[in-house]
Copies of this chain bind each other. A is one copy, B any other.
Amino acid sequence: MKVLVTGGAGYIGSHVVRQLGQAGHDIVVLDNLSTGYRWAVTAGELIVGDLADEAVIEEVFANHRFDAILHFAANIVVPESVANPLKYYSNNTRNTLNLLQAVERHQVPYMVFSSTAAVYGMPDETVLTEDMPLAPINPYGASKMMSERMIMDLAAASDLNYVILRYFNVAGANPDGLLGQATPEATHLIKVACECVTGQREGMSVFGTDYDTRDGTCVRDYIHVEDLAKAHVMALDYMARGGESRVLNCGYGRGFTVNEVIDVVKRQSGVDFPVAETGRRTGDPEALMADNARIRQTLGWTPNYDNLETIVGTALAWEAIWQKRKDSPS
């Protein structure tokens, strides 16, 4: 298939691009390189451009006849979205609309969209099915919920088919050390802990130790980026086989506490670092895990990297590689 990957130079996008290349797809990456990197695009063609620019989009679609769009490009930092909501509604929601207008004009048949468990907000349940009500509590989650809705409504009015993937906590890196999370100022737990190991951070905070969990810290469902990437490739195959539009959670269905994650990072790296226990943050649910029955059944997806040691191990290995690469002339 001829596929357009927006945000394909970023963390998750770059892992998907690599797998798409291995699967033999013909790839065009559109990325503004605001947080992505040229080196991360290991297959296909990179076009540097911004989805805010409708002329750029039209040019890309005029030059290529795409069978599918995989739409990763987005801002993803929750606290920033609270402070600057219009940035998120512009770069996430409006830019998705810009892309959808091209999808409609050029009658692209398939779309895979990067959504997030943040669309669920603060649910009453801890294991979430895709049918839970959507109630995002921050502009990041709301911007993704709006994008989902626009995609669904366009699909209902046209021949577009979609798979919307709601990511839980994505972590880890390509096990060969080729790719990993290089996002500046990342706020993800495992990335932050790895930066403590390499000395880029002096220490880190744990937000809330009085939750009703096994050690008092929040429980999250960490999914390895290669397993997540595989879901995207399988979603394309599913639609090409005639599969109907679906929303699918991406997670392993079990969780680890913040302290468990930090302990594994320290144990595997052999490096200790200071951890400050501070109060709860607003908007952190106690425990969030994916019910992944639907993705298993719909796509036939099964994970290959479903253990915390592998997630942390690949993340640590990448962090060491990335630190050396950053500091050396490219």
Interface residues of A (CB under 8 A from B): 82-86, 89-90, 93-94, 97, 100-101, 104, 133, 135, 139, 142, 146, 149-150, 153-154, 156-157
The answer to whether A97 touches B89, judged by C-beta atoms less than 8 angstroms apart, is yes
The answer to whether A97 touches B90, judged by C-beta atoms less than 8 angstroms apart, is yes
Out of B86, B101, B104, B149, name the residue touching A150 (CB < 8 Å). Answer: B86
Please report the C-alpha to C-alpha distance between residue A150 and residue B93 in the assembled complex, in whole angstroms.
Answer: 11
Please report the C-alpha to C-alpha distance between residue A100 and residue B101 in the assembled complex, in whole angstroms.
Answer: 22
A137 to chain B, nearest CB (A): 11
The answer to whether A86 touches B90, judged by C-beta atoms less than 8 angstroms apart, is no
9 A-B pairs whose Cβ atoms sit less than 8 Å apart in the complex: A83-B157, A84-B157, A86-B100, A86-B150, A89-B97, A90-B97, A93-B146, A94-B94, A133-B133
Q: A90-B101, A93-B93 are in contact. Are A85 and B146 (CB under 8 A)?
A: no
Residues of B with C-beta under 8 A to A104: 86
Please report the C-alpha to C-alpha distance between residue A268 and residue B164 in the assembled complex, in whole angstroms.
Answer: 53
Please report the C-alpha to C-alpha distance between residue A100 and residue B157 in the assembled complex, in whole angstroms.
Answer: 28
A85 to chain B, nearest CB (A): 4
The answer to whether B133 touches A142, judged by C-beta atoms less than 8 angstroms apart, is no
A291 to chain B, nearest CB (A): 21
A148 to chain B, nearest CB (A): 10
Please report the C-alpha to C-alpha distance between residue A156 and residue B94 in the assembled complex, in whole angstroms.
Answer: 20
A330 to chain B, nearest CB (A): 36
Out of B85, B150, B153, name the residue touching A153 (CB < 8 Å). Answer: B85
A284 to chain B, nearest CB (A): 18
Residues of B with C-beta under 8 A to A94: 94, 97
Inter-chain pairs besides A85-B153, A85-B157, A93-B93, 18 sampled, C-beta below 8 Å: A82-B153, A82-B156, A82-B157, A83-B157, A85-B150, A86-B97, A86-B100, A86-B104, A89-B100, A89-B153, A90-B101, A93-B97, A93-B146, A94-B97, A133-B133, A133-B135, A142-B153, A146-B146
Nearest neighbor of A81 in chain B, beta-carbon distance: B153
Nearest neighbor of A98 in chain B, beta-carbon distance: B94
A322 to chain B, nearest CB (A): 32
Residues of B with C-beta under 8 A to A83: 157
Residues of B with C-beta under 8 A to A154: 85-86
Counting chain B CB atoms within 10 Å of each CB, the highest count among A94, A139, A150 belongs to A150
Residues of B with C-beta under 8 A to A156: 82, 85
Please report the C-alpha to C-alpha distance between residue A153 and residue B142 in the assembled complex, in whole angstroms.
Answer: 10
Residues of B with C-beta under 8 A to A142: 149, 153
Counting chain B CB atoms within 10 Å of each CB, the highest count among A86, A139, A149, A156 belongs to A86
Please report the C-alpha to C-alpha distance between residue A93 and residue B82 in the assembled complex, in whole angstroms.
Answer: 19
